[in-house]
Amino acid sequence: MPYIKVWIHFVWSTKNREPYLTKEIRTQIFRHIRENAQEKGIYIDFINGHIDHVHCLVSLGLNQNVAKVMQLIKGESAFWINQNNLCLAKFEWQDEYFAVSVSESMVNKVREYIKNQEAHHQLKSYQEEQEDFKRLYGF
């Protein structure tokens, strides 16, 4: 039996960064994403976000890859959001996303970062955060 632990920090936004993810809706969406991921064998360690984007810390399984995990999470959750009429307009996620590996020694730091999205975005917009990610990770 192989022993695998590959941590990935995913970040993705609503289409055109529409501010659809109110606190109430975020709670429902994150609960659903977590439940759906579990059904599909995707281990979500931590999920949180803000009004227009989501951060998710995932430990990839043996037969999982970044693209497939994102497809399963984003595609199904957008369908569910629309099916349950959580937004007035048609809901979509932006096609692009960030996915960066996280070393075991940094997992707690990434969890804290994801946990503190409300406070973090009092100081910095998602656009600024995105530019920081691009610069920091060499995108």
**65-124, pLDDT tens digit by residue?**
999 999 999 999 999 999 999 998 999 999 999 999 999 999 999 999 999 988 878 888
Confidence category of residue 2, pLDDT binned at 50, 70, 90: confident
Does this model's pTM top 0.85? My answer is yes
| pLDDT of amino acid 139 | 83
37 found inside a domain: yes
Asked if 59 and 102 touch (Cβ cutoff 8 Å), the reply is no
Confidence category of residue 125, pLDDT binned at 50, 70, 90: confident
CATH code of the domain containing 127: 3.30.70.1290
78 found inside a domain: yes
Q: Residue 68 corresponds to which tokens in the numbers above?
A: 């497939």
72 found inside a domain: yes
φ, ψ at 92 (rounded to 5°): -145, 150
Structural domain span for residue 23: 6-137
The owner of tokens 């917009």 is 125
pLDDT in tens, 9-36: 999 999 999 999 999 999 999 999 999 9
Asked if 113 and 55 touch (Cβ cutoff 8 Å), the reply is yes
Confidence category of residue 128, pLDDT binned at 50, 70, 90: confident
1 found inside a domain: no
Distance CA 139, CA 98 (A): 9
Q: How many domains does the chain have?
A: 1
Asked if 51 and 22 touch (Cβ cutoff 8 Å), the reply is yes
